[in-house]
Amino acid sequence: MTIWLQNDDTVFAAFLSRRGFVTVMSIVSPLSRLRGASAPRRLWPSVVLTIALNVWVLIRLFQTEFGWFGQGIFLLTWILLNCVFLLMVRRAALAAALSLAILELLILVSQFKFKITWMTATFLDVMVIDPDSLSFLLSVMPGLRLATCVAVLAGLALAILLWTFDRTRIPRIASAVVGCVSLVAIVGLSNEIPEEPHEPFQGVNHVSNFARSMVVSLSELSSSGWLDFDRAVASRLKPLPADDDCKPEGKRPHIIMVLDESSFDIRRAPGVNVPDGYGRHFASADGKSRILITEAAGGPTWYTEYNVLTGLSTRSFGRMSFYVTRLAAGRIKRGLPQALRRCGYRTFTLYPAYGAFLSARRFQKSAGIDRMIDAHEMGAGDVEPDSFYFDKALKLFAKERGDDPLFMFVYTAANHFPWTNRYRPDLTPDWKPLNADAETDEYVRRQAISARDYKAFVEKLKRTYPDESFLIVRFGDHPPSIAPRLLEPKMTDAQIAEHIMERDPRFFSAYYAIDTINFTPVDLSSARDALDAPYLPLVVQEAAGLPLDSTFAEQKRILERCEGLFYRCKDGAEARRFNRLLVDSGVIQGF
């Protein structure tokens, strides 16, 4: 009996032979020879496609990576991704396509993040994914959901086609060896030349910076965790008082905090001209001009937002400080709004961005904010003059005014970078340039607009509510990004970067001022001439005459021991000890 087989399965042939078939697989040999002869012709489409994908990767390398080091890390990352997928699918073209998809997605997300936050994507973006981040993306890109679905479906269809037609088969042992070598090289180079904190703010090297940040982040997390605090301390804080235990002497004033975007007294820079009366904006009601030492130099506002709401330092999070509001959301339940709520205040913020941005809404809720009114609810555009937010604050006060005092945290945004374009020239029709440098002059012009809008806001409060008492504390969230060049015009960029890395206070100095309406500050002993930003909640409570809970009483002792320094005191030792006390008292959880 003869059996005609259309394949070269020798195992099946042996099975038939053992059962007595006379002629088995009479066309096996011819077919085998035919397939062997046509193998190169069947492989070449996969080989050509794999080469094309690698050429495209090289193009993207030179488009997005600068410097031999970044380009080398990019190539090692590309090789590692290919090896990982080859271990799973063995098909070279499919592995290259999947790896390219990962890199393109990373570059796209990083470029988008840089456009919004002026910082490229890092590995911590993967580790700290939360619903607010996805909500923020969908809110600023309404078509993202549909585009993502279409891209996923198209990618699946392409992957299935490649799986079917890709004839290459790479040995897994080879993929494993090359992948391990690539991984060791990435880790070794990243440790030898670790990622500097300023590099993600340059807007380039998206893939290599992401790979290096993975090495640095995992190393730091394994050694010190998310939050830096002492393992144990001998003392304990007293339990926090109940919400109705705060009994201040005298009438409680309404409290308004004003975040003056990117503002500092530019007279500290040599050769800069300012309008007459410029310095009055930086003086308190007692005539003093005070300096607020922030933890950001021309960078993220949310560092100072975290400082002044929680009374804590972003530096306790190390390299994770950029994600401080996302990490603190739901975990840190101590700060100025919480203390004010115990004293009967109702707490609000007028926020100039989407509430989901960096989990701001969840963070502020856990810090004690009853209600955040974000840009969407206010109907704010991209950048509004300060008068827009002050008018919203007046309307909010009129609506919410009652028997209980109010706390309002008002953000402004008109002085946000860049200063290379003239913002709302109609607001200063008579402005005459005071400085030859157009960027500096625009910065001074916007400060003049902010000072005018704030003065009008105070006058409206006085006129509309002559019988109400107000304590107003305003502050610059950080010096502007142009400040280092103005402060030290003779320094090179490298020298300035070195001073910033060393935390030179000159490059972190903004201002804070204390104003009042129908109210005299009760205690200004904590309002030092130069003060680290985490102490500002303490200043507000003492100025308002509110009794301090045990956490702020302890922080007052730290202020006195350290003479206005917080994290900078004893190289972070006081902050680490204080964090441990807060962990033990239960107001810091989950770290």
pLDDT in tens, 251-276: 899 999 999 999 999 999 999 999 99
In this structure, the chain runs to a length of 591
- Give the pLDDT score at 242: 59
CATH 3.40.720.10 domain residues, the chain:
256-585
Question: Cα separation of 300 and 478, whole Å?
Answer: 8
Which of the two residues, 447 and 52, has the higher pLDDT score? 447
List pLDDT tens digits, range 185-221.
988 888 877 776 667 777 788 888 888 888 877 877 7
Query: Can you tell me whether residue 370 is helix, strand or coil?
Result: coil
- Give the pLDDT score at 227: 87
pLDDT tops 70 at residue 286:
yes
Residue 248: name the closest of 555, 549, 585 by CA: 549
- Give the pLDDT score at 434: 95
pLDDT tops 90 at residue 8:
no
Q: How far is CA 399 from the centre of its chain?
A: 33
Average pLDDT over residues 156-178: 79
β-pairing, 512-517 vs 291-293, is: unpaired
pLDDT tops 50 at residue 277:
yes
pLDDT tops 90 at residue 170:
no
Q: How confident is the model at residue 83 (pLDDT cuts 50, 70, 90)?
A: very high
Is 327:303 a contact under the CB 8 Å cutoff?
no
Looking at the structure, give the CATH architecture of the domain made up of residues 256-585.
3-Layer(aba) Sandwich (3.40)
23 - beta bridge partners?
2
Share of the chain above pLDDT 90, in %: 51
pLDDT tops 90 at residue 166:
no
Q: Which of 47-56, 541-550, 555-564 has the lowest mean pLDDT?
A: 47-56
pLDDT tops 50 at residue 410:
yes
List pLDDT tens digits, range 548-564.
999 999 999 999 999 99
Q: How far is CA 384 from the centre of its chain?
A: 22
- Give the pLDDT score at 29: 39
Which run of H or E residues covers position 293? strand 291-293
